[in-house]
Amino acid sequence: MIASVLVANRGEIACRIFRTCHELGIRTVAVHSDPDANALHTRVADTAVRLPGAAPAETYLRADLIVKAALASGADAVHPGYGFLSENADFARAVLDAGLVWIGPPPSAIEAMASKTRAKELMGLAPLGDVTPADLPVLVKAAAGGGGRGMRVVRRVEDLTAALESARAEAASAFGDGEVFVEPYVEDGRHVEVQILADTHGTVWALGTRDCSLQRRHQKVIEEAPAPGLPDDLRAELHELAVRAARAVDYVGAGTVEFLVSGTRAHFLEMNTRLQVEHPVTEALFGIDLVAEQIRVAEGAPLPDEPPRARGHAVEARLYAEDPARDWTPQTGTLHHFSVPPSVRLDTGYANGDDIGVHYDPMLAKVVAHAPTRAEAVRRLAGALEKATIHGPTTNRDLLVNSLRHKEFTTARMDTGFYDRHLTELVGGPGEPYAPLAAALADAVGRSRFGGWRNLHSGPQTKRYAMAEEEHEVRYRHTRQGLEADGVRVIHADPSAVVLEVDGVRRTFEVARYGDQVYVGGTALTALPRFPDPTAQLAPGSLLAPMPGTVVRVADGLAEGSAVEAGQPLLWLEAMKMEHRITAPVNGTLTALQAAPGQQVTVGSLLAVVEPT
């Protein structure tokens, strides 16, 4: 029996595995990089071991350090989670060679399937060789790892070389393996996968299907189980192919076989030899704990001959600290307050007051709803996200709510091109129109001990706020009867809540303030100074860092005085394990270049200046 588990991972998945271990009475060991010294997964574990450094390559990707930590802490088993070393056969062997239990598939199975190129060969497929215009569009894909990293869609042959170089660099940074390959890119297909679970006695379960078609940058955003609208014969074919793939490599444990479905045809993508991020929807559907099953299988316990029956429908949304309206730019800062209604499941690696840094994936949490029908599950998830309290960096919450309520999704007609078609209509929006007034009234009450009214009539007070990239000026008065605003009846106001009556309709607004950041319900505002700072000016054409990160590359031959074209990549930033291009905004001349490879930058740092032609 396993008594102590070290989780070779961080964040949400480490916390989720620890939760099951605690329920089973198993002691837990965390490992952490220096930025994660006070992370939630480190705090909830029974024991924590430091991995010196910050970058994944020197911490969570160091198999030798992790095995050493397991032995030093007295752990007798290692769970890899997902990402990092979870699909690294050498790591699995190192764990086994150290006399520890590996909670995962045999190294031989990982080796056969973890490389997408070798997996395709095993399934009788082969990647593309020399790409011609007739092959377009194609997908450049990392052979190791997943999560959308190391993937590039190429629509012109002349763009292939740059895509290969970029994908190799990103894959090497994320997985320690820069191998990539090229395959046909199926436009507007559905991403459908099958969860499998196998024991050491020859039993293999196919635990239904999942649809993961809503993706950004080839990384899943919303997932559900079962995949809606699949014909019974196609569903049976997917189950059969998944089981066949597992048996072909003598698979043990939890894994996922992924397909791209176009019409009634299924194209094999890959087999992930690990637990998937979206495993909670399968757990909700079948009423099981996949992590607990992984542990039991690792202990040698047999699975029943047949899996439990699926019931109802489950939907999961990944909540990211990112701004979809700004090319999905990752966001950093303090998560002041975060909570969701109890009607849904929350898997997260953050708690109130935690800092969201630059080194790792920007996913805050997974929010999961289960209900008897798909429509009910979708409605429950959208409502819970809408009512969630998220005070901190910008997130994709509004995008998730709008996606779940979009007709194309509610009628199950979505595909992997969903956000390419609908992103503009799903992001942004004007925000709550009375949010600036509620913020101003709450602030007025909080700053005034005696109510602020005067014996003589006075002019209105004014406050300015930025909301949805627009400035709003609010006017109100202190009177003997309390606060007064034109056209709106103020029923109540205190620093944390404001009640307004507009045209006979009473509405309550919860208000929270952290420095200049104000949150009114789900609307974020920034309190602006009464008089703008006249010195806060930048040269026209200034390119500022949209996020904190590291400059990894500068375009070849680029120097001050170079002529550049609009859209031309000038340099690349790496933040949260992904590369972000900084491009020229206009045709012009590069008059200043303030960035160099290896340089650390903060939000708003001046990177370059392009003077328009």
- CA-closest candidate to residue 180, choices 223, 225, 139: 139
CA angle 577, 583, 587 (to 5 degrees): 175
Contacts of 236 (CB under 8 A, 6+ apart): none
Which residue in the list 16, 210, 235, 274 is annotated as catalytic?
274
Q: How many CB atoms lie within 10 A of CB 410?
A: 16
Residue pair 436/232 in contact (Cβ under 8 Å)? The answer is no
CA distance 54 to 46: 22
CA distance 162 to 579: 13
Helices 290-298, 279-286: crossing angle, 10 deg rounding: 90
Most distant CA pair in the chain, distance = 88
Residue 333 gets the label, from left (phi > 0), alpha (psi -120 to 50) or beta, of left
CA distance 239 to 225: 14
Active site residue 50: no
DSSP H helical ranges for 148-231: 160-175
CA distance 76 to 5: 6
Q: How many CB atoms lie within 10 A of CB 105?
A: 29
Q: What are phi and psi of 439, to 5 degrees?
A: -65, -45
- CA-closest candidate to residue 439, choices 336, 517, 333, 352: 517
Positions annotated as catalytic residues are 274
